[in-house]
């Protein structure tokens, strides 16, 4: 990575107008993906020109500025982060902050490229990864992802486990698509030693179908799972929005992310950096700050620090997600792949 002038401005930790400390940065390193999941993307996507995408050096610079200001956790996302050329070099560069301000460096992946990169990620300091996996049925997997092959993803998960990475499975609950196997997904994760998080579909970006057809409240999912498993309360947290329970029969954890039925805004400690350098202070709001404009003109970080400080003053109290018939097809027009999942 190129050297830049990292100037400390004397500014302290990042605290928003509601007293919430910002300690978690999610970074989309690319809007591109090797899948086209039906609830996430249209089959024919228009991706960003490369000239608009942050370089790996720019991403490292911005992330380092946040770490200097108190961010303790960085998650790399996409799109699919492992399709970004040079991604391991970025992980290596960010890994130097571990133990020196940064507590955790992790990523979310669809698992398709994970077998190729698992050992390198572990060597660079990654200790756990989230793998998006909505079904264990090969035919259903192909229908949901349009292009994906389930055995390749399962091989990636096995390679990550062999490399010593802890794995959490992220499953989007979809009415009429995978609701009949969510209990089996939980049982499989328990057997394999993985934690699991269920997620409600989020109304972000135009896709080729009406999300209301497949929206499944997690209150229903949890009630059904409770017929099969014994849940115990736990104070376990990862820094993200999931609320966890422990499965008494196995000791594994199941989390629930409920942006629609029960939002998680009151404890939000997160901001998101897009692949183009826009900082979104809230996943469900359109207000953003252009950090690329603060990075590209100068090797000094003074303007970047000032832009970050100003942006955090605009972090809202909560999001405006809503889903239902009669509502706009996407509550937020940008795709999750642009924002960072």
The pLDDT tens digits of the residues spanning 48-100 come to 898 999 999 999 999 999 999 999 999 999 999 999 999 999 999 999 999 99
Do the bridges between strand 24-28 and strand 73-77 make them parallel or antiparallel, or are there none, so unpaired? parallel
Query: Is the peptide bond between 79 and the residue preceding it cis, with omega within 30 degrees of 0?
Result: yes
Tell whether 295 is in a known binding site: no
Tell whether 79 is in a known binding site: yes
What are the CB-based long-range contacts (under 8 Å, 24+) for 296-303?
296/58, 299/4, 299/5, 300/4, 300/5, 300/7, 301/4, 301/5, 301/6, 301/7, 301/61, 301/65, 302/7, 302/9
Tell whether 37 is in a known binding site: yes
Higher pLDDT, 15 or 319: 15
Tell whether 168 is in a known binding site: yes
Tell whether 146 is in a known binding site: no
Mean pLDDT of 218-231: 96
Gap between the Cα atoms of 228 and 217, Å rounded: 18
Tell whether 271 is in a known binding site: yes
Q: What sign does the CA torsion over 36, 340, 108, 137 have?
A: negative
In contact, 78 and 30? CB cutoff 8 Å: yes
CA atoms within 13 A on the CB side of 274: 26
Tell whether 228 is in a known binding site: no
In contact, 330 and 204? CB cutoff 8 Å: yes
Gap between the Cα atoms of 207 and 210, Å rounded: 8
Q: Where are the domains of the chain?
A: 24-339
Gap between the Cα atoms of 314 and 307, Å rounded: 11
Q: Which fold has domain 24-339?
A: TIM Barrel (3.20.20)
Tell whether 39 is in a known binding site: yes
Q: Which spans in 231-340 are helix H?
A: 292-295, 302-312, 336-339
Global confidence as pTM: 0.87
Tens of pLDDT, residues 237-269: 887 788 999 999 999 999 999 865 555 577 789
Tell whether 91 is in a known binding site: no
Tens of pLDDT, residues 162-185: 999 999 999 999 999 999 999 999
Tell whether 20 is in a known binding site: no
Mean pLDDT of 215-220: 92
Mean of per-residue pLDDT scores for the chain: 88
Tell whether 268 is in a known binding site: yes
pLDDT for 39: 86
Tell whether 282 is in a known binding site: yes
Q: Give the distance between the most distant pair of CA atoms in the chain.
A: 59
Tell whether 53 is in a known binding site: no
Specify the DSSP element, H or E, that contains 65. helix 56-68
Tell whether 189 is in a known binding site: no
């Amino acid at each position: 990575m190129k050297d830049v002038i990292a100037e400390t401005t004397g500014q302290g930790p990042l605290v928003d107008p509601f007293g919430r400390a910002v300690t978690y940065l999610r970074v989309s390193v690319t809007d591109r993906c090797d899948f086209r999941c039906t609830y996430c993307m249209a089959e024919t996507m228009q991706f960003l020109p490369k000239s608009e995408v942050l370089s790996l050096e720019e991403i490292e610079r911005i992330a380092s500025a946040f770490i200097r200001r108190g961010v303790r956790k960085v998650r790399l996302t996409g799109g699919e982060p492992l399709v970004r050329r040079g991604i391991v070099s970025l992980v290596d560069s960010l890994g130097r902050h571990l133990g020196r301000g940064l507590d955790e460096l992790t990523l979310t992946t669809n698992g398709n490229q994970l077998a190729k990169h698992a050992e390198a990620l572990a060597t660079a300091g990654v200790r756990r990864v989230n793998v998006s996996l909505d079904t264990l049925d090969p035919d259903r997997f192909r229908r949901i992802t349009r292009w994906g092959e389930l055995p390749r993803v399962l091989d990636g998960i096995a390679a990550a486990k062999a490399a010593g990475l802890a794995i959490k499975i992220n499953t989007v609950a979809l009415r009429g698509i995978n609701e009949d196997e969510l209990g089996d997904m939980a049982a499989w994760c328990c057997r394999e030693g993985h934690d699991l998080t269920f997620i409600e579909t989020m109304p972000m970006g135009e896709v080729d179908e009406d999300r209301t057809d497949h929206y499944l409240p997690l209150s229903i999912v949890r009630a059904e799972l409770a017929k099969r498993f014994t849940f115990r309360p736990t104070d376990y947290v990862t820094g993200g929005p999931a609320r966890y329970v422990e499965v008494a029969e196995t000791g594994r954890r199941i989390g629930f992310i409920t942006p629609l039925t029960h939002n998680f805004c009151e404890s939000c400690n997160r901001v998101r950096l897009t692949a183009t350098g826009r900082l979104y202070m809230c996943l469900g709001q359109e207000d953003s700050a252009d950090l690329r404009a603060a990075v590209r003109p100068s090797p000094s970080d003074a303007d970047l620090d000032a832009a970050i400080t100003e942006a955090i003053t605009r972090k809202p109290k909560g999001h405006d997600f809503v889903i239902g018939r009669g509502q706009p097809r996407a509550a937020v027009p940008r795709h999750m792949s642009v924002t960072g999942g």
